[in-house]
Amino acid sequence: MQRIGIDLGGTKIEALTLDPAGKEVFRKRIPAPRGDYAATLAAVAALVRDAGDGTVGVGIPGALSKVTGLVKNANSTWLIGKPLQQDLEKAIGRKVRLANDANCFALSEAVDGAGEGAEVVFGVILGTGVGGGIVVRGEVLTGANAIAGEWGHNPLPLPQASDLPLRPCYCGRSGCIETYLSGPALERDGGEAALGRYAERLARALAGVINILDPDVIVLGGGVSKEARLYEEVPQLWQRHVFSDQVATRLLSPRHGDASGVRGAAWLWGGPPGVK
């Protein structure tokens, strides 16, 4: 059986088909129809038709509420409150499995990516939104509220003068990590010093994760993860905020690049080969 993965991003939607041996046989990326739920359903259905036969797993921003089954916590706010699973199944004509996009990304990188062999992996999406996913010994940690790893809406720690006033977030809070560390936030910041400021904020935010989860590996994904400077600067900057005499946690770029989220989505129906 082929496995189809869909990564439903805020600016792009990507599809991937893996053959029964786990080899990539199809990949396509289209711009996301922003702000339009019906067009989003149609776009995913069209991508799945192009992708061929197979099971369908979809990585989404946010999660399905354990109370209502509806989408919550999505930076793509036009998905919030929608019965996305049922609507996609109707549009596609197949059963669909949904999971948080950062969880899909973290799983792909933990199993045979940058975090291969590590016991605890924190996968971070620095894209249109900011999310995180936790994989422990090869398994995604979903959590009691389906929000494990969702650090993007924690407040940015230790706000400094250049972080003020606290930025309003779509979620209704102010000063969320996402409002400083998303791709659009970095773009808006602009100028020479923007990336340096970004690295320092990322270090503060990740230090909080290290103090709680103490992961072996943190893998960055999403558009901003292509900034090579981050992998050198952030681990130097986070030292002062981590409550430890040494920090062994490694900050790594994704081995599977842009394809990691969509690979993890394809695996929602099992696999890859050799992995339960």
> Which residues of the chain form contacts with Zn ion (CB under 5 A)?
153, 169, 171, 173, 176
96 or 176, CB closer to Zn ion?
176
**Which burial class, exposed, middle or buried, applies to 255 when counting CB atoms under 10 A from its CB (0-12, 13-18, 19+)?**
middle
136 or 171, CB closer to Zn ion?
171
5 or 131, CB closer to Zn ion?
131
Task: Tell me the two tokens of residue 275.
Answer: 């992995």
153 or 263, CB closer to Zn ion?
153
Strand (E) positions, the chain?
3-8, 12-18, 24-31, 55-60, 63-64, 71-72, 96-100, 120-126, 130-136, 139-140, 217-221, 250-252
Q: Minimum CB separation from Zn ion for residue 79, in Å?
A: 16
Report the DSSP pairing between strands 120-126 and 139-140.
unpaired
Separation of CA 100 from chain center: 7
Q: Minimum CB separation from Zn ion for residue 95, in Å?
A: 32
Q: Minimum CB separation from Zn ion for residue 208, in Å?
A: 15
Cβ atoms of 266 and 4 within 8 Å: the answer is yes
Can you tell me the distance from the alpha carbon of 241 to that of 2, in angstroms, rounded to the nearest whole number? 45
173 or 226, CB closer to Zn ion?
173
Q: Minimum CB separation from Zn ion for residue 152, in Å?
A: 7
173 or 250, CB closer to Zn ion?
173
Task: Tell me the two tokens of residue 138.
Answer: 């090869």
Q: Which residues on adjacent β-strands are paired with residue 172?
A: none
- Distance set, CA 215 to CA 137, 170, 250, 251 (Å): 11, 29, 8, 10
- Distance set, CA 205 to CA 107, 118, 119, 154, 238 (Å): 21, 21, 21, 9, 9
Q: Minimum CB separation from Zn ion for residue 176, in Å?
A: 3
148 or 169, CB closer to Zn ion?
169
Q: Minimum CB separation from Zn ion for residue 127, in Å?
A: 15
Cβ atoms of 271 and 5 within 8 Å: the answer is no
Q: Minimum CB separation from Zn ion for residue 10, in Å?
A: 14
